[in-house]
């Protein structure tokens, strides 16, 4: 498929669906709702934001209580395409899909969302993004969930893959019959959990007494920007909003850096010091998620570093934790 045919494909999608895609704006690539196929950025540059807000809105109303009456607010969304999702962001979406597997609000919305991945060669992407959460394996696409995947070749042409029934239907509805099927083979590769997961986990686990946390606590602002921007951070607060008629129950994004995050009814906080919050963040991503799902809690997109006002760098910190000399 050449660029022209590809643009036709995107235009067909635009005619029938809401489409979000990376676009170039000023000097940055940013994910936005698009109107024209020509807006799409094909370079594979890491967008400054993520698709997370489409899958998991920053604030979402779940139900209302009016007097004795309970009113479910499960609403349908317009069918939506997440177009041009890079391999790391697909992995992040795969994680969210697993975490919210039994969440009715997420799943209801998810039914109507299609993911269309994009790469200019995954091995190359791994180098470009300086991936530190996994080692490149050829069958990486078998362990990530997607509906359609587009590979841009060196000659500028594209080849297509389908990763689900939803994807095949989507392609065929656009009269595309030339594509290859890839069966999702579960989160864990045949040869076992990725060695990088194991290494990172070992580095973070039991590092509570490591000096790094104290050092970082000398600069971190607890602003939580890193969690908000992170494609794999999924924590939320529940929030009651009163109306004249009753109560609206909503949930909204949160961060383990915020004061209310670990506050319990009596006012006690587990995370009562900044060093603990920092350690908690890494433990969650590199120890607890891998433990529960044998999957990545962090996909090494480096967005947290890019938005951090004091430049806290997750890749460098993992290195510091793994290096022998620094271990206490």
Partner 1 sequence: MLREPQHDICFDKLIISMKNKLRIGIISLTSCEGCCCAVLDWPTEFLSLKEKVDIVNFHLFEESEHSSDERFDAVFIEGSPLTKENIKAVRQLRKNAKIIIAFGSCAHIGGVYHLKQYQDKNKIFNSIYHGQEGIENFDVQSLSALIKVNFVLPGCPISAKEFFQFIYQLAIGKSPSVFNNPVCYECQIRGYECLLQKGEVCLGPMTGGGCEAVCLKSKQGCWGCRGLIDDAEVGNLMKKLRDKYSDKEIVKYLEVFGVKEIIN
Binding site for ligand SF4 (CB under 6 A): 220-227, 229-235, 255-257, 281, 284-285, 298-304, 307-310, 312, 314
Taking the complex as a whole, how short is the minimal distance between the CB of residue 269 and partner 1, in angstroms? 8
Contact partner at residue 109 from ligand SF4, partner 1, none, CB < 5 to 8 Å by partner kind: none
Closest to partner 1 by CB, 157 vs 259, is 259
> Cα separation of 278 and 219, whole Å?
11
Contact partner at residue 82 from ligand SF4, partner 1, none, CB < 5 to 8 Å by partner kind: none
Taking the complex as a whole, how short is the minimal distance between the CB of residue 71 and partner 1, in angstroms? 16
Taking the complex as a whole, how short is the minimal distance between the CB of residue 118 and ligand SF4, in angstroms? 18
Closest to ligand SF4 by CB, 135 vs 235, is 235
Closest to partner 1 by CB, 48 vs 293, is 48
Contact partner at residue 46 from partner 1, ligand SF4, none, CB < 5 to 8 Å by partner kind: none
> Cα separation of 201 and 288, whole Å?
9
> Cα separation of 187 and 190, whole Å?
10
Taking the complex as a whole, how short is the minimal distance between the CB of residue 188 and ligand SF4, in angstroms? 19
Closest to partner 1 by CB, 223 vs 293, is 223
Taking the complex as a whole, how short is the minimal distance between the CB of residue 228 and partner 1, in angstroms? 4
Among 152, 135, 125, CA closest to 46: 125
Annotate 20-69 with DSSP letters as a single string: EEEEEETTEEEEEE-S-GGGB--S-PPPSS-SHHHHS-SEEEEEEEETTE
Query: Residue numbers of the site for partner 1 (CB under 8 A)?
Result: 30, 48-49, 58, 218-225, 228-229, 239-244, 246-247, 253-255, 258-260, 272, 274, 307, 309-310
Taking the complex as a whole, how short is the minimal distance between the CB of residue 66 and ligand SF4, in angstroms? 32
Contact partner at residue 243 from partner 1, ligand SF4, none, CB < 5 to 8 Å by partner kind: partner 1
Q: Indicate the pairing of strand 247-253 with strand 59-66.
A: antiparallel
Closest to ligand SF4 by CB, 153 vs 195, is 195
Annotate 156-196 with DSSP letters as a single string: S-EEEEE-SHHHHHHHHHTT----EE-----SS-TT-S-HH
> Cα separation of 281 and 304, whole Å?
12
Consecutive H or E run containing 108: helix 104-111
> Cα separation of 131 and 315, whole Å?
9
Contact partner at residue 21 from partner 1, ligand SF4, none, CB < 5 to 8 Å by partner kind: none
Angle at 218 between CA 213 and CA 219, to 5 degrees: 105
Closest to partner 1 by CB, 79 vs 215, is 215
> What count of Cα atoms within 13 Å lies in the side-chain half-sphere of residue 231?
26
Q: What is the DSSP letter of 140?
A: G
> Cα separation of 250 and 241, whole Å?
7
Contact partner at residue 253 from partner 1, ligand SF4, none, CB < 5 to 8 Å by partner kind: partner 1
Closest to ligand SF4 by CB, 207 vs 300, is 300
Taking the complex as a whole, how short is the minimal distance between the CB of residue 20 and ligand SF4, in angstroms? 19
Closest to ligand SF4 by CB, 113 vs 229, is 229
Contact partner at residue 281 from ligand SF4, partner 1, none, CB < 5 to 8 Å by partner kind: ligand SF4
Residue 298 and residue 288 in contact, taking contact as beta carbons nearer than 8 Å: no
CA dihedral of 322, 199, 216, 46, whole degrees rounded to 10: 120
Taking the complex as a whole, how short is the minimal distance between the CB of residue 56 and ligand SF4, in angstroms? 11
> Cα separation of 77 and 118, whole Å?
24
């Amino acid at each position: 498929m050449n660029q022209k045919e590809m643009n036709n494909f995107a235009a067909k999608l635009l005619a029938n669906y809401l489409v979000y895609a990376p676009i170039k704006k000023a000097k940055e690539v940013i994910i936005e709702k698009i109107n024209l196929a020509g807006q799409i950025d094909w370079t594979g540059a890491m967008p400054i934001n993520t698709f997370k807000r489409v899958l998991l809105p920053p604030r979402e109303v779940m139900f209302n209580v009016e007097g004795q009456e309970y009113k479910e607010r499960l609403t349908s969304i317009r069918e939506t395409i997440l177009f041009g999702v890079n391999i790391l962001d697909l992995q992040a979406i795969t994680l969210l899909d697993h975490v919210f597997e039994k969440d009715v609000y997420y799943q209801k919305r998810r039914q109507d969302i299609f993911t269309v991945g994009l790469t200019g060669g995954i091995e190359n992407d791994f180098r470009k993004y300086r991936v530190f959460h996994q080692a490149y394996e050829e069958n990486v696409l078998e362990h990530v969930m997607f509906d359609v995947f587009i590979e841009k070749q060196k000659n500028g042409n594209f080849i297509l893959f389908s990763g689900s029934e939803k994807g095949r239907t989507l392609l065929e509805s656009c009269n595309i019959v030339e594509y290859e099927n890839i069966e999702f083979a579960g989160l864990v590769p045949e040869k076992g959990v990725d060695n990088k997961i194991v290494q990172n986990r070992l580095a973070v686990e039991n590092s509570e007494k490591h000096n790094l946390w104290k050092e970082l606590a000398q600069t971190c602002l607890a602003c939580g920007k890193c969690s908000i921007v992170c494609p794999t951070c999924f924590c939320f607060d529940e929030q009651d909003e009163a109306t004249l008629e009753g109560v609206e129950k909503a949930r909204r994004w949160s961060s383990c850096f915020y004061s209310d995050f670990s506050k319990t009814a009596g006012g006690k906080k587990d995370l009562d010091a900044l060093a603990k919050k920092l350690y908690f963040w890494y433990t969650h991503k590199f120890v607890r998620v891998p433990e529960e799902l044998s999957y990545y809690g962090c996909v090494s997109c480096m967005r947290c570093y890019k938005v951090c006002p004091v430049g806290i760098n997750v890749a460098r910190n993992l290195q510091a934790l793994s290096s022998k000399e620094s271990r206490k």
